Every structure is written in C-alpha cells, then in structure tokens.
Structure 1
C-alpha cells in the first residue's frame, strides 16, 4: 500500500496566502472534512465562519485553530446552524455581515449519511436526507448569493462525492442527493456567471477520517483491514486525507481559479478510473 506523501498529510501553511481578507462560510465545519477546510482557509488569511448544527464541535474547531495560532482569534467565528431551517440560516448570515460586512466564499459541506436498498429506506429518512443534503445547499445559496451579487464576485463550492458519479451497493438515498448536487452546481454556475460568481463541486473519494473507525466496526473488520481493502481500489493505493480536500477547496476559492465554473472535480485517488 502506498504511503501518504508528506505534503498531503499537512495543512497548506507553506503556500502563498491565497485568501487574504476573504470571508469564507463553511457549513458542517465541526466534522472532519469541514473543520480541516475551515482551518486551512484560515491559514491562507481568510476570515472563517465555522458553522455546524452542533455548536460544541464548531467551537472545538475554532479553539484548535486559536491554540495553534493565537493571531487567528479575530479571524474565526463559530455559529450554530441548521441548514434545513431558513430562519437559522438568516440569523447566521446576519451575524457574519454584522461582523465582517459580507461573505465572499460559501462552502456547502453539511451532510448526513443515509444508506440502504430502496425498499428498506423509510419515507422519513428520505425526507431528512433530501432536506439536509439538497435543500440545505440550496437555502444556503439563496441566503448568500444576494451578497455576492452586490459585490459582483463570489465562489460557491459544493462538497459532493464519488457517489455522485458511480453506483454503489445499497447507497440509493445518499447517492441520489450527491447526484442532485452536481446538477444544482451546473445550474447555479449558469445563473450566477453574469454576476462573476462561480460555482463548482468537489467529489471526494475514500478519505481517512475518525468516522473510518466506526465504519470498520460496522463491517466487523479492523481499521487496518478497511484501509487496505479501500486502498486497493485506488490508482494511488492509499486513502485520501482531509487536508487534500481542504487544499483543493482553497484552490477553487482563490483567484488562481477564475475561469472554472460549473465543474465537478474528482479527488479520489483514481478510484473512478478503475
């Protein structure tokens, strides 16, 4: 199994500061990928909104960053946010605008995971996953796009999945929502392009996170066995890191990437090529 390159296992603090003075709003920022995105954006000089339905995990993300760099205290704020509740979204956006005047970048990352064969998934489970994973993304864009239109610039980054592209056993609800995100991304790019607002999607593959351990337990195998099994499915013969997703997010958010919009980028170690 291939080892993780040194540069892939670190946040991107050695890069040029690509997001200086930009305001970045990250949903689901208490989770493994979301928190790494938030911290990496802060390393690049952004003011970062760490939003999560679980305020404690949002606070933990901010505290970790401040402990590593006390200068980031005024560059990060944590917010309790339910992306299915429009009033919660409006309150969060108002808090950010009151503090930092605008929002330049939206990272739609908040998601839930519901799996199963179609005959086994309840109507309630369908409603919940569509509410969070699809409607939640749309409501966030609805609230923030007017700010971007006013300043005639912005970047929306939607965290999708390889499940947007390939069929996987008993993944029907999750894959359906992730497929919908790609189409939402294309339509937003079309509608918002005239206002100099870009919208792109990132499709992660197998990423090593704390949740990987629980997934191994569910499969009744060790974490090492899970990693080895998944690694064999990748061209690079390893799992990805949260930092690699975060680094790609920074690239799409930055001024290095002005001509990319409506696109979906696979960051999957080559999984979908095999």
Structure 2
C-alpha cells in the first residue's frame, strides 16, 4: 500500500487508478488499508521537497462526500468495495479530470463563501448527508457568480440532526420519482448531442426533477426534466437527475464550463464531434 501511494505521488496517477481502482484494491487487505493515514503523513512531510509550491490551482472543485461515506459501516473489505456512493463519486471525479481543467477535491469542513471564491465551478455528487449551513454557504457562493453542478442524489439528510431535508430553494426544483430505465436525453438547443442515460453502480438510472422556477435544459423522451438550470444572483445551479457515463459527464462539464468562459489550458480536438478527447 505504501509503495502504491508513493508511486502515484511521484509518477502521477494512471488511468487504472481512476477507472479500475476496485481491482487495484483487490491486492490489499483491511490491515494494509490501515496504513493509509501514516503514508499520508509521510507524503505531507516530504512534499515540500519533491512537490514544491505553488502547484496547479484547480478551477473546478469536487466536494468529497465524507459525511455520506462515514455513515456506511461495511462488515468487511469486500463490502467496502461495493460502496455505491464512492463508486459513483469516482465516476464524476474522473469525468471532471477528463475535461482537462484542473480539479481539486474539497471537504465540507472547508466550505465557506470566501473559500469557494477561488473555484468558478463546484461539483457535488452523492452528498446525501450534508452539514448544517451548507445550503446558505452555497447560496452565497452562487449569488456571487459561482456555478454549482449537483446530482439529484444529494441533499437527503441533515448530518447533525439526522432529519430528512429537501433541495435548497435556490435549486429551483424538487425531486420526483426514480427514472426506471436508460433513455435518450435530448438537450435544449442541442448544446450537446443526444446522450443515452446510463446506470449508477446502485442500479438506478437517476431521478426525475420537478422544476419550480428552473429552466429545463435536457429532457427524457416523455418531456420530463433530466437536467435543469436555475439562476441565482450572478451564478447558476445545474441539477442533473439522469445518470451519465464518465465520458458524457465530462462532455456535459466541458459544455457548462465553456459557457462560463472556463476552458482547459491545452485543448485537444476529438476525432469525431461529440466524442471525448483526452490524453494520458
């Protein structure tokens, strides 16, 4: 485990770390996993020597669903690897990385309107449990010009009181019924080619959205919303109900970022329009 993390830090993470991490973890036991905090301390101690600052600053922040993952207590290592929320979070994280725009992972305890100013775009995926006050912080961030991209499987439970909650009012939408099958999603004004809704690791195709002021940007064949956008102050919230594969998440994020004037420093042209272009 120690050599695995040191190799990733010194030489960079390969695609296998993103797309095939369950098989990578197959090589390690629970005992090996317990060494991670110590390896983290080693790396942080030596980082000033082999990773001098300033480093690349992210333009996209991805909120790590710590509170949600903490609430899940697996009985063994095999069960831990089946954790749906972590698998789906990694799908979105990989999609963000493949935009070519620098990405940082942030924690709930770091969130404040001031802290988020440095990130034009914030992604929230699978944050079922949220810290009290998160909605207020996000509203300030968006009102000041920030862009929030959030999945519909977020904002279910207040992490402190353990009470059920709904989407904040500035989302401009409510949760509807579960999407029961993969269907073609049609985008308004063809901002993207029509995409096939994917399936999450939990076996769900997403959740229908009920707009309450938000604009429909993408719809299912029956016309019900799969993606809505709501303006709040100088910023906006994009709420995605349908599940998408990594490639399509990346295409969607690229489109949203481009609309906000955020682009990768190095642009790579795809072989075919509407497909994902990337290097590793």
TM over 0.5: no
TM-score with structure 2 setting the length: 0.29
Structure having the larger proportion of residues in strand: 2
Per chain length, whose mean CA-contact separation is higher, i.e. which structure has more relative contact order (CA < 8 Å, sep 6+)? 1
TM-score with structure 1 setting the length: 0.30
Structure having the larger proportion of residues in helix: 1
